[in-house]
Structure 1
Amino acid sequence: MIRFEHVTKSYPDGTKAVDDLTFEVAEGELVTLVGPSGCGKTTTMKMVNRLVEPTSGRILLDGEDISAIDPVQLRRRIGYVIQQVGLFPHKTVLDNTATVPHLLGRPRGKARARAAELLDLVGLDPSTYGDRYPDQLSGGQRQRVGVARALAADPPVLLMDEPFGAVDPVVREHLQNEFLRLQSSLRKTVLFVTHDIEEAVRLGDRIAVYGAGRIEQFDTPATVLGAPATPYAARFVGADRGLKRLSVTPVDPGDLEQPPIVRLDDPVARAAERLASEGAPWAVVLEADGSPYGWVAASALTGAVGGPAAGRGLDKAPRGTVREHARRMDAWLPPGAPLKDALSAMLQHDAGWVAVRDGERHLGVLTPAGLHGALRRSTAADAAKLPRGEVSLDTVPVAGA
């Protein structure tokens, strides 16, 4: 969709803002351009809509050389969102959003109807916010209007220059979540400029890591974090890049452990016998429909905390069902959730594991050891360019084990 061919931007004093850029952004792909201030990432983006003209090289949009397209017409085909938003202060939110469709010749009524749809899409009820003016909105709300306005003409390409940089961290994370939700359904071709590597990792299908006017590495977030291509890229993504990988490494069924399973309405004696036969200290407890409920300790079933070993104290097992002894566990995730969410759930619930379920179907549990192994396998797989399931790990033995 967007292709740079040996693009350079030089200034009269000899400064090269970007030097011999060649890369491509596929249709429907979100590429983040990340790097320090002055590295050329914003210049790169502005050359796509001809706010900056390249000194040499070509930029193609859907196969067409943009230098042959009238700049005004080009910009009306491209959505543009900036940090300062740039809303018209004298226009209402609804009219701000309808600006580009109206400029493209749509009747005012249809332009406003489209604007109302988009405001609703970005989480701003048009009946509540449509008649307000920009100075009556919070910073996060203004950013939402900026996104809605950029999408109003249904452009195939969206350029975003530090769009969430001027809001506080909580609002920023919420805006990122909302934008990912929108992108999953709209699949625009997006160039997203940021100086924040964590934002780049979280949002990008691929990341372009910029040095001084050039791209040091262009790859998936997992690969950039797991196998930096140059010493500069390694320094930029940081020594804690292993922790950052938690955000881009999904929970895989191969990471899960399978402790014994009992049901809420199982007789205590039967459940205790199962745990004893497997030598397990606890079991996952499922509802009658197979959805996870929580867990139960073997000691609770035998009624002998610190007493006889499992399997020898079954005569002491209390009567009734597992229900009376099970403990509720609300820490669960869907398959494919990032490992960061798994770690967060463990910490939030002070839990030694989280359940992984597909809808209401229990798949297994992820433990801290399983999470660590998943992260190591992911890093090794990217370095070796192998599927994660084909990677085996060497483990350092524990002294005295």
Structure 2
Amino acid sequence: MIRFEHVTKRYDDGTTAVDDLSFEVAEGELVTLVGPSGCGKTTTMMMVNRLVEPTSGRVLVDGRDIAGVDPVALRRKIGYVIQQVGLFPHRTVLDNTATVPALLGWKKTAARARAAELLELVGLDPAVHGPRYPAQLSGGQRQRVGVARALAADPPVLLMDEPFGAVDPVVRERLQNEFLTLQATVRKTVLLVTHDIEEAVRMGDRMAVYGQGRIEQFDTPATVLGSPATPYVADFVGSDRGLKRLAVTPVTEADLDIRKGSREGYVGDPEEHEDGTHVPLGTSLKDALAVLLQHDTGRLTVTGEDGRPLGVLTPAGVHRALRRATTPAEDRTAHARPLPTERRATK
């Protein structure tokens, strides 16, 4: 859906922001661009909607070189979410959300209906929040409105520049979870810029780790954490990268201990199942361990789609899962993002 072909951006003062950049983002994929300030990640993203023009090379969206596309028309077909949100303070939340459909010539009733639908999708009651103005919302609510506005015209591509950076850590994590749930439904092609390695790992199907104007490694979070391509990447992702892998490694049946012959009293003990020590298959190891550490049983029941116990996760199973996550050939399969209902522990 998005392809960079030997793209370079060099400014008049001689500064090279991006140097010979080539990579591709598949349709429906969420790719995070992560790196320190000034590394070129935001410049990269802004070249997709022509807010920055490349010095050389080509940027293609859906197979078309965007250099030949009218910039205004291009931007109206690409959603854009920024940290400061950028809502119009004098317009209501509903009218803010309906901005792009209105610019595209939609009838007012249709634009507002679409806006109400999107507000509900991001968890805001249009009847309650629609008539309000941005100043009457919390930071997290304004960020949700920004996402709704970016999605209002149903764009195939969504650009997000530090979208959750302006809110406190608790709200930020909740917004990240909500966006991942939303993404599982709408499946947009997303470029998300962040300087936070935790966010890049948590959000991305794949992640691009930037050095100075270049991508040092472009792969799944599990591969980047388990097999850093360069010393720079290893240093950037941190010495605790083994712990970070917990967030991107799902629990599979291969990680479970199962008593042969019968599961009664071992996996399917009703009391154990009712006290909260169980999670659905596909839950991340991080979430599974969070539940496990709340109890003294030393094991965690894992259930299937029908809610029936499949086996138990023990410390030995966690170790097996982490070893699996560091095998490059298996990383790409293991990191397939679970459905939103499978990402959360049942409590």
Distance 1:351 1:95 in 2: 53
Question: Are residue 284 (structure 1) and residue 266 (structure 2) matched?
Answer: yes
1:107 is aligned to 107
Q: Structure 1: which amino acid aligns with 2:81?
A: V
2:302 is aligned to 356
Matched ranges for 1:68-147 at <5 A: 68-147=68-147
Matched residue of 1:348: which SS? coil
Distance 1:107 1:68 in 2: 29
For the 8 Å contact 1:223–1:383, the answer to whether it is kept is no
Distance 1:239 1:225 in 2: 10
2:242 is aligned to 242
For the 8 Å contact 1:206–1:218, the answer to whether it is kept is yes
Matched residue of 1:217: which SS? strand
Once the two structures are superposed, residues 136-178 of structure 1 have per-residue CA deviations (whole angstroms, 9 ceiling, x without a partner) of: 0000000000000000000000000000001011101110111
1:375 is aligned to 322
Q: Which runs of 5+ in 2 are unaligned?
A: 335-347
Distance 2:247 2:91 in 1: 39
Matched residue of 2:309: which SS? strand
2:292 is aligned to 346
2:340 is aligned to none
Give the drift of 1:387: 7.5
For the 8 Å contact 1:357–1:364, the answer to whether it is kept is yes
Q: Structure 2: which amino acid aligns with 1:183?
A: Q
Distance 2:331 2:106 in 1: 50
Once the two structures are superposed, residues 261-284 of structure 1 have per-residue CA deviations (whole angstroms, 9 ceiling, x without a partner) of: 575xxxxxxxxxxxxxxxxxxx42
Q: Structure 2: which amino acid aligns with 1:119?
A: L
For the 8 Å contact 2:324–2:331, the answer to whether it is kept is no
Give the drift of 1:360: 2.1
Give the drift of 1:88: 0.1
Matched ranges for 1:47-62 at <5 A: 47-62=47-62
Distance 2:225 2:332 in 1: 16
- RMSD of aligned alpha carbons: 1.7
Q: Which runs of 5+ in 1 are unaligned?
A: 264-282, 287-291, 296-326, 389-401
Distance 1:39 1:355 in 2: 44
Length-normalised TM-score, structure 2? 0.92
Matched residue of 1:294: which SS? helix
For the 8 Å contact 2:267–2:310, the answer to whether it is kept is no
Matched residue of 1:222: which SS? helix
Matched residue of 2:20: which SS? strand
Distance 1:284 1:167 in 2: 44
Matched residue of 2:270: which SS? strand
Matched ranges for 1:19-34 at <5 A: 19-34=19-34
Once the two structures are superposed, residues 94-139 of structure 1 have per-residue CA deviations (whole angstroms, 9 ceiling, x without a partner) of: 0000010000000111100000000000000001100000000000
1:293 is aligned to 270
1:10 is aligned to 10
CA spacing shift, 1:43–1:387, aligned 2, 3 Å: closer
For the 8 Å contact 2:220–2:332, the answer to whether it is kept is no
- What percent of counterpart residues are identical? 73
For the 8 Å contact 1:164–1:172, the answer to whether it is kept is yes
Distance 2:329 2:233 in 1: 15
1:220 is aligned to 220
Distance 1:147 1:385 in 2: 30
